[in-house]
């Protein structure tokens, strides 16, 4: 644990250009379940509470299109009654059961989650476990070369271009061989597509897979005028790989995207108008890594989606969307920042309700925390 904490602290150094996606736990003080007259607990459950299922999880690995081996974590609903919790990478256990049989009595909606720079696939388990309790199947890859355990600054240019493919490859794997391996084949229907989410660098990834495209010339002009975290990496990679300037990472199977404290406006901002699916962009008021003014709000404003929502979590910092404060004592783990225990239930409610709304559950909007004093919201 001490080694992992040290890696996370080092990962936050400005010299490494870290936009850390390090990692937080399901709060024990969850809101009481609300009720709705027409709620079928097997299809829809109020988003402000844990869902009707236990969450199970298992890990595996796949080989992506670039030849990289990616460790992947899958969360899913189960009806098993067990006390055997999964221990993520031998460090921490939260609420997910270790490799129980999945509950595949119906087709389940799918979400792919992308971790932040120097994070790991389970860095936001409070979100992925909660979604599994509501009947979602969630898969998250380790972006090899960009995790807490194997981070390489030299590989950062590669990550700008490989990360979205890691997400798409993870979806392909889950709908194919991975679903069979995990016993999830009866839970999955590729025709139903998937939603994508991610934190920080993972927010960039979720925005790219959600339809924001590269406009290389516009990005260079912006970088010359204002600079940005990924400017040098983006341009260096394109200089060596000219075809990369026109790569389109959008996946037609994606039906919603939820970037959390996203990075990468300097790369994707000019092409974000091509995004057409529903987006919910969440940011943190006191975030000094991917700030509201320079990253989160510009990304939101640039999106061409007809349905888009921007939420600002007040009094909170960059790591509120992760389990980082379980692993090390960062400055924002203490006053005056909003605590994880206060913020995580509301984050879960917003993410769950937004996904339920896109799946056609109209009553889910009643559980969006629009009136919460923890948030400021902008909608279109």
- What's the chain's average pLDDT? 90
Q: What is the pLDDT of residues 117-163, one digit of tens each?
A: 999 999 999 999 999 999 999 999 999 999 999 999 999 999 999 99
| Overall pTM > 0.85 | yes
Range of the domain at 284: 2-21+36-379
Domain count, the chain: 1
Whether residue 83 is contained in a domain is answered as: yes
Q: What is d(CA 318, CA 287) in angstroms, rounded to the nearest whole number?
A: 5
Q: Classify residue 29: in a domain, yes or no.
A: no
What is the domain-level CATH number for residue 191? 3.40.50.1820
206 domain residue, yes or no: yes
DSSP string, 179-239: HHHTT-GGG--GGG-EEEEEETHHHHHHHHHTT----HHHHHHHHHHH--TTHHHHHHHHH
What is the per-residue pLDDT for 43? 67
Helix (H, G, I), strand (E, B) or coil at 71: strand
Total H helices, total E strands in the chain: 10, 11
Walking along the chain (380 residues) 10 residues at a time, the average pLDDT comes out as: 36 37 33 40 81 97 97 98 95 96 96 98 98 98 97 95 97 98 97 98 98 92 94 93 89 98 95 96 98 98 97 98 95 96 98 97 94 95
What is residue 282's three-state secondary structure? strand
Residues 353, 322 contacting (CB under 8 angstroms)? no
Residue 11 lies in a domain: yes
User: Rounded distance, CA 148 to CA 133, Å?
Assistant: 27
pLDDT digits (tens, 9 = 90+) for 303-346: 999 999 999 999 999 999 999 999 999 999 999 999 999 999 99
Query: Quick check: is 13 in a domain?
Result: yes
The answer to whether residue 27 is domain-embedded is: no
Angstrom distance (rounded) from CA 30 to CA 13: 34
Domain membership of residue 31 (yes or no) is no
Query: 80 in a domain, yes or no?
Result: yes
């Amino acid at each position: 644990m001490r080694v992992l904490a040290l890696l996370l602290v080092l990962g936050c150094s400005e010299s490494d250009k870290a936009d850390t996606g390090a990692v937080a736990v399901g709060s024990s003080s969850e809101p009481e379940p609300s009720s709705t007259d027409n709620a079928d607990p097997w299809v829809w459950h109020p988003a402000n509470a844990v869902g009707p299922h236990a969450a199970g999880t298992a890990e595996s690995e796949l080989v992506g299109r670039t030849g990289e081996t990616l460790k992947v974590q899958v969360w899913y609903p189960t009806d098993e009654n067990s006390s055997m919790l999964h221990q993520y990478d031998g460090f921490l256990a939260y609420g997910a059961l270790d490799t129980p049989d999945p509950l595949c009595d119906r087709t389940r909606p799918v979400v792919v989650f992308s971790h932040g720079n120097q994070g790991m696939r389970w860095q936001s388990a409070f979100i992925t476990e909660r979604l599994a309790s509501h009947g979602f199947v969630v898969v998250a890859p380790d972006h090899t070369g960009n995790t807490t355990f194997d981070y390489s600054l030299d590989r950062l240019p590669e990550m700008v271009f490989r990360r979205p493919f890691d997400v798409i490859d993870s979806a392909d794997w889950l709908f194919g061989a991975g679903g069979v391996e995990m016993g999830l084949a009866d839970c999955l229907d590729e025709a139903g597509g998937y939603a994508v989410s991610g934190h920080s660098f993972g927010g960039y990834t979720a925005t790219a897979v959600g339809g924001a495209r590269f406009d290389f010339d516009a990005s260079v002009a912006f970088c010359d005028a204002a600079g940005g975290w990924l400017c040098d990496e983006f341009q260096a990679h394109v200089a060596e790989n000219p075809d990369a300037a026109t790569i389109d990472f959008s996946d037609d199977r994606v039906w919603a995207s939820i970037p959390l404290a996203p990075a990468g406006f300097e790369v994707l901002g000019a092409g974000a108008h091509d995004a057409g699916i529903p987006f919910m962009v969440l940011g943190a008021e006191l975030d000094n890594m991917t700030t509201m003014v320079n990253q989160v709000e510009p990304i939101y404003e640039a999106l061409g989606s007809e349905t888009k929502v921007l939420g600002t979590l007040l009094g909170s910092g960059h790591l509120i969307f992760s389990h980082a404060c379980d692993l090390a004592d960062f400055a924002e783990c203490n006053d005056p920042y909003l605590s994880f225990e206060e913020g995580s239930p509301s984050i879960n409610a917003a993410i769950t309700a937004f996904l339920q709304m896109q799946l056609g559950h109209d009553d889910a909007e009643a559980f969006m925390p629009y009136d919460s004093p923890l948030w400021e919201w902008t909608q279109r």
